[in-house]
Amino acid sequence: MGTFARTALPRALHRAFLRWYIRHYGVDMTECIGDIDDFRDFTEFFTRPLKDGLRPVAQDADALVSPCDGKVYTCGRIVDGNLEQGHGIPFSAAELLGGADEPDGSRYDGGHYAIIYLSPRDYHRVHTPREGTVTRFHYVPGELWPVFPAATREVRGLFARNERLTTFLQTDRGEIAEAMIGAFGVGRIKVVFDDTISNQGLPRANVTLPAPRALGRCEELGRFEMGSTVILLLPPTRDGSALRFTVAPGEPVRLGQVIARWGP
């Protein structure tokens, strides 16, 4: 599928395929820069950029914003190191970040999480949920189970089994982990701060950047070459404030929209 997506098809076939895809999935082409003739292959179309100013970014000091377009699967508090995959199925933050003995998992216990699913129609670049500095990332090779709702009901620990790349963003609210999860047909994940590309036969890696990368709120962090899921892990608050979600499972969200607020 990846080879097909990166292959430049004959122009007539390219147009026919993209027109079918746009109709089938209901892609809103008025939101992106360019039209179907401006994309050399399906990957370029799939990672198409949005027009400037199309997604207003909430700048409130107490806001956590959505890092992508998509739909909220689940969100809530991390209890005993676990978050909910959906349908009452738990999995651990430690396993998501790399394994049962992953030391970073415990730092999020008592904090919060949000899981956002990107469908085939969505914009597939992923951004930061708050301004901060990227200091390190984890890459974990894995499987490529589908991540649509029927699969999350059947495959236990799905998000902790699939290929994934987690970026750690140092913010004024603590270190936020942002995991990009691979899935069926979503073998390539790219980030802006490193040359690592997932699903290329690379080994597991825990990488500290030699030069930390400062990113503004909602600045691009990476992209999926096809679609998948983003998981945010937030540490417990340090100043006595509480984090309250302003969205609910099943609710669509847009990049830059407030999804939670810190407050008394």
Q: Kindly list the catalytic residues.
A: 69, 127, 228
Burial class (CB in 10 A: 0-12, 13-18, 19+), 264: exposed
User: Which H or E run contains 75?
Assistant: strand 70-77
Measured CA to CA, the distance from residue 50 to residue 55 in angstroms comes to: 8
Residue 13 has phi, psi (to 5 degrees) of -70, -40
Spatial neighbors of 61 by CB under 8 A, at least 6 apart, are none
Indicate the SS3 state at residue 152: helix
Helical residues (DSSP H) of 118-189, grouped into ranges: 149-154, 158-161
Two tokens at 116? 């956002």
